Amino acid sequence: MQINRDAPIVSTKDGIIYATPDRVWEALADVSSWSAWHPEIRSAALQGAVEPGTQFRWKSGAATINSTLEVVEQPTLLGWVGRSTGLTARHMFHLHPDDGHTRLTIEESMEGPTARLLKRFLLRMLDRSLEAWIAGLKRRTEAPTSS
């Protein structure tokens, strides 16, 4: 799976997380905990194992998003397709090991009538959301673990 680079809305953000890819993966794969560390996510529930074809439903801002995991390659790649009113989003996390920490690339495309109509607004919102993913993952995974 890849994002749609020809979609009306495309964004990519990169960051360095001072934690191993395994630790970052743990946070991403624990879908039900997303709301604890991503400020825009109000709730999330995975309906099965972390594997291709598993669905999850989550609320981000005012939107309820129905998503399906498409790519699961632990601990380096996680991708899904999500649908909300008038939007289809393709979202990919790329985790690259780098001397004990993780280089993270997040990319997403949005298409559909709502994406065309609200392109500028949704692109700004998406850019902020991807930055929030990186900041939240840093807070979640760089903190010392309790013993």
Residue 130 is part of a domain; what is its CATH number? 3.30.530.20
Q: Residue range 31-54: average pLDDT?
A: 96
pLDDT digits (tens, 9 = 90+) for 87-118: 999 999 999 999 989 999 999 999 999 999 99
Q: Is residue 113 part of a domain?
A: yes
pLDDT exceeds cutoff 60 at 134: yes
Mean pLDDT of the chain: 95
Q: Is residue 81 part of a domain?
A: yes
pLDDT exceeds cutoff 70 at 23: yes
Structural domain count of the chain:
1
Q: Is residue 14 part of a domain?
A: yes
Q: Is residue 42 part of a domain?
A: yes
Q: Is residue 73 part of a domain?
A: yes
Q: Residue range 57-68: average pLDDT?
A: 94
Q: Is residue 1 part of a domain?
A: no
Q: Which residue has the higher pLDDT, 85 or 7?
A: 7
Q: What's residue 38's pLDDT?
A: 94
**pLDDT tier at 144, thresholds 50, 70, 90:** confident
State the DSSP H helix or E strand holding residue 27, giving kind and residue range, or none if neither. helix 21-29
Laid out side by side, the sheet with 55-60 consists of 9-17, 101-111, 87-98, 77-84, 63-73, 55-60, 41-46
What percent of the chain is predicted at pLDDT more than 90? 93
Q: Residue range 48-71: average pLDDT?
A: 96
Asked if 95 contacts 76 with a C-beta cutoff of 8 angstroms, the reply is yes
Domain span holding position 16: 9-142
